[in-house]
Amino acid sequence: MNEFLIYAVISLLSLLMFYFWYQRQGHTSEKKWLLEQLNQHSGLEQQPYVDALKKINHKSSNLTTTVWVGLMLIPASFAIDYIWFQDIPIDQRVSATAVTPENGSKAPDLASAITQLEQKLAENPNDLEGQMLYGRSMMSMQRFDYAVAAYQKANQLAPNNADVLTELAEAIAFRNNTGSFLGEPEQYLKQAIEINPNQQKAMWLQGIVYYENLNYIEAENIWTKLLTQIESPNIKTTIINQINQARVAQNKPVINDGAIDSNTSMNAASNGYLVVVDASESIKNMTLQPSARIFIYAKQVNGPPMPIAAAPITQPFNWPMSIRLNDSNNLNPERKLSSFEQLEISAKLSLSGSATPQADDIDSETQIISKQSASIQLTLTK
């Protein structure tokens, strides 16, 4: 609807309201006076007053006045618009209900925000903060190829940035679909630690690299150093559990931290899933190298390949074996085993002892369990 039609409609409505109001007025005071005179006189004396009332009732001044007012109202509306609102385009005069009260516009959804970010990066691909933000967004959406590309671009823009190198290492590990940080991710983590030895995420991931390489002493050392920099009790609990895994692998006693709430430690130790691992007779009769290990994995159902939690079992293997998988085995403090309603549980026998997938690995079946499941049994078969 254009501007002329808008003012025409407003003027017509105003005109109708004025007409009905003016018609109701109808020389009210004159009629009142004439009626009083009729009550005070009688007979022939009333005739002049009767004739006067008839003339008033037949007058067409109501309609005439209304027409004149209408002719004046429309140009008056345009004059008011010109004086007061000439600087505001008609398409911007919208209802207050069409916008939000805070900033006058509707907030974009996630898809729109990412599209806008992609457009900005297409115009300015050298925006370091934009590339990092896009990489984090793609990681959260599990679009790991896009995340790797964004972090690689960020690494070109800031080649000696420990934060960028750490995020790039993690993205590559997820993209590789191996559940391991060995290989290319390991190289970027090493660079990050050399640039900033106190980069906390790099320290934590480097500890995982040491552990995967069976270097339990270095894993314990770097996680112990990281523990002194952490304030969050939940994250401390996870790191202490990882330290204890490295210590157990060295036949050392576990450690406790009095600063950690005892209830938190008890809950982390008591909750979880009891996983029983057995093997076929052919596997039980195999002669294994001392380095051979069994790994228990818990993954998100239909999620990324990186496990939520993992637990190793070292020799000797006394079949069947059981291990409790709980939040103490989390690989990422921000992804807790206890927060998932369903999980994919599996086991593998690594003849080399490496967590990285190998051609000669012996896998079990994968089973899906829910929070209500108390235990699960897996069988390793060739």
The pTM score is 0.48
Residue 155 in any domain: the answer is: no
How far apart CA 117 and CA 277 sit, in angstroms, is: 48
Quick check: is 108 in a domain? no
Tokens at 29, concatenated: 């005071």
Q: Is residue 211 part of a domain?
A: no
Q: Is residue 258 part of a domain?
A: no
Total number of domains in the chain: 2
Q: What is the pLDDT of residue 51?
A: 59
**Looking at the domain assignment, is residue 119 inside a domain?**
no
The last residue of a domain, from among 95, 113, 145: 95
- One pLDDT digit (tens) per residue for the chain, 382 residues: 455 556 556 666 665 565 555 555 545 555 556 566 556 655 555 556 555 655 555 544 454 555 555 555 555 555 555 555 555 554 454 443 444 444 545 555 778 888 899 999 999 999 999 999 999 999 988 899 999 999 999 999 999 999 999 999 999 999 988 778 999 999 999 999 999 999 999 999 999 999 989 999 899 889 988 988 888 888 888 898 899 988 888 888 887 754 344 444 434 334 688 898 999 999 999 999 999 999 999 999 998 888 999 999 999 898 888 888 988 888 888 888 988 999 999 999 999 999 888 999 999 999 999 887 767 889 999 8
Tell me if 157 is assigned to some domain. Answer: no
Q: Is 80 inside a domain boundary? A: yes
pLDDT score for 177: 80
What residue numbers bound the domain in which 300 lies?
272-380
Instruction: Provide Rg for the chain, Cα atoms.
Output: 41
**Domain end among 42, 71, 95:** 95
Domain termination site, one of 73, 95, 117 = 95
**Residue of 308, 313, 326 lying closest to 364 (CA atoms):** 313
Residue 325 lies in a domain: yes
